[in-house]
C-alpha cells in the first residue's frame, strides 16, 4: 500500500456504527460496503446488490479461534450472497463487497481482482483462508491488469480503514512510530524512528521480533522453552500457548517451542512469556542490538506494564 495523505468517507445508512457501513476515497470511483450477516436482507434491497465485483466473508475458525476469510467474485452480489447465507456455513458473520460506483467493472475485472486478492491475502497470512488455494492467474491484457491493480489498491486501503487489514503483511519495511529519544535511525522524511528489531535471548531462548504500529511481531523461526515454570501454570499463559499450538503458530520440537510464522502480539509481555515459559515483563525482556530495552527505546515506563501479559 502506498502511504500518502487521503480523505476517506465512511457513511452509516442507518446511523448504527455496527450496522451497514460504506467507505470510499472521495476522489475515486471504487466503494466498499461492510454488511453484518444479520443485515444481509437490508443490503439486498439496495441498488449496489446488483453490482459486479469481489466480496470477502469474515469470521473465525471455531476450533482454532483464528480469523477466517473467504474471497469470491460475482456478477451479482445479491444472488451470490444469498447462496452463501444458505450454504456457506455458520462461521462468517460479516461480508465486505467492493464495486465501481460507475458500474465500470466487468466480470473479467472481477476474476482478476479475485485472484490478486486471494494471492495477497495468502501471502500476508493474517487470516485463515477458506478458499484453499489461490488458483490460477487469469489471462488479462496489460491495460486491464493495470486498471485492476489500481482498483485493488483502493480496496486494500478501504478494508484496512474499516479494520480488515487482510492484505497487509505483519512486517513492513520499517516502523513509522516516532520517538524523540532515538537519534540514530531516520525515515525518508527525516523523522526520527526507533530500531524496529528486538531480541529475547537467554538459555534455551532465541526470539527475534519487530515492533510495528500494531504491536510486537515475533518472527518465524524464533524458539523458546517447552518446559514452563509454576508461575506460568498459575496464570492463563498455558491456555494461551495451547491455543497458539492449536492454531499452528507454535510447534514443539524436543525441549523447544518454535514459532512457525510471524505472529503479532498486541503488547510485548505475552510474546516474552510465550518464549520464556514463565511470567515476564516484555518491556524489559526485549532488547535491541545495543542492549537497550524496549522500554528505553520506546520511552515507556516498564512499571506500568508489568502485569499486562
d(CA 266, CA 50): 39
User: What pLDDT does residue 281 have?
Assistant: 94
Q: Please tell me which residue, 89 or 27, carries the higher pLDDT value.
A: 27
Alpha helices by DSSP H, 197-281: 230-234, 237-247, 268-276
Per-residue pLDDT for 57 more than 90? yes
pLDDT tens for each residue of 107-154: 999 999 999 999 999 999 899 999 876 678 888 899 999 999 999 999
Q: Which three cell numbers stand for residue 20?
A: 451497514
| Secondary structure tally for the chain: helices H, strands E | 9, 14
Q: Which three cell numbers stand for residue 208?
A: 527475534
User: What pLDDT does residue 2 have?
Assistant: 62
- Coil, helix or strand for 145? helix
Q: Where are the domains of the chain?
A: 8-161, 197-305
Per-residue pLDDT for 306 more than 50? no
User: What pLDDT does residue 302 have?
Assistant: 42
Q: Which three cell numbers stand for residue 131?
A: 478458499
φ, ψ dihedrals at 252, nearest 5°: -95, 130
The Cα angle at residue 151 between residues 149 and 155, in degrees rounded to 5: 110
Contact by Cβ (8 Å): 97, 164 = no
Contact by Cβ (8 Å): 177, 190 = no
d(CA 43, CA 256): 50
Phi-psi region of 99 (alpha: psi -120 to 50; beta: other; left: phi over 0): beta
Per-residue pLDDT for 93 more than 90? yes
Q: Which three cell numbers stand for residue 302?
A: 516498564
**pTM (2 d.p.):** 0.79
Torsion angle defined by CA atoms of residues 178, 180, 186 and 189, in that order, rounded to the nearest 10 degrees: 60
Pairing of strands 128-129, 67-74: parallel
d(CA 164, CA 72): 16
φ, ψ dihedrals at 275, nearest 5°: -85, -40
285 Cβ partners below 8 Å, 6+ apart? 200, 268, 269, 272, 276, 293
The residue among 12, 74, 34, 58 whose CA lies nearest residue 162 is 34
pLDDT tens for each residue of 199-217: 999 999 999 999 988 899 9
- pLDDT above 90 covers a percentage of the chain that reads 69
Amino acid at each position: 500500500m502506498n502511504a500518502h495523505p487521503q480523505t476517506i468517507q465512511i457513511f452509516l445508512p442507518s446511523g448504527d456504527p455496527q450496522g451497514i457501513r460504506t467507505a470510499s476515497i472521495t476522489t475515486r470511483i471504487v466503494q466498499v460496503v461492510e454488511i453484518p450477516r444479520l443485515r444481509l436482507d437490508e443490503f439486498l434491497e439496495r441498488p449496489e446488490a446488483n453490482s459486479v465485483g469481489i466480496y470477502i466473508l469474515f469470521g473465525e475458525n471455531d476450533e482454532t479461534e483464528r480469523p477466517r476469510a473467504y474471497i469470491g467474485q460475482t456478477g451479482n452480489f445479491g444472488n451470490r450472497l444469498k447462496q452463501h447465507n444458505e450454504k456457506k456455513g455458520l462461521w462468517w458473520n460479516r461480508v465486505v463487497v467492493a464495486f465501481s460506483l460507475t458500474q465500470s467493472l466487468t466480470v473479467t475485472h472481477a476474476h482478476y481482482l479475485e485472484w490478486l486478492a486471494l494471492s495477497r491475502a495468502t501471502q500476508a497470512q493474517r487470516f485463515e483462508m477458506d478458499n484453499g488455494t489461490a488458483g490460477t492467474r487469469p489471462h488479462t491484457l496489460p491495460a486491464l491488469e493495470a486498471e485492476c491493480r489500481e482498483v485493488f489498491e483502493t480496496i486494500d486501503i478501504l478494508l484496512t480503514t474499516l479494520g480488515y487489514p487482510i492484505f497487509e503483511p505483519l512486517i513492513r519495511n520499517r516502523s513509522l512510530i516516532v520517538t524523540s529519544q532515538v537519534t540514530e535511525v531516520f525515515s525518508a522524511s527525516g523523522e526520527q524512528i526507533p530500531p524496529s528489531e528486538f531480541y529475547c535471548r537467554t538459555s534455551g531462548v532465541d526470539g527475534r521480533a519487530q515492533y510495528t504500529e500494531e504491536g510486537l511481531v515475533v518472527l518465524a523461526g524464533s524458539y523458546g522453552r517447552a518446559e514452563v515454570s509454576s508461575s506460568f501454570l498459575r496464570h492463563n499463559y498455558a491456555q494461551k500457548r495451547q491455543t497458539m499450538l492449536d492454531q499452528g503458530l507454535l510447534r514443539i520440537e524436543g525441549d523447544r517451542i518454535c514459532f512457525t510464522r510471524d505472529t503479532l502480539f498486541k503488547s510485548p509481555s505475552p510474546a516474552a512469556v510465550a518464549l520464556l515459559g514463565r511470567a515476564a515483563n516484555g518491556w524489559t525482556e526485549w532488547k535491541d542490538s545495543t542492549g537497550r530495552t524496549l522500554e528505553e527505546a520506546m520511552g515507556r515506563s516498564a512499571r506500568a506494564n508489568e502485569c499486562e501479559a
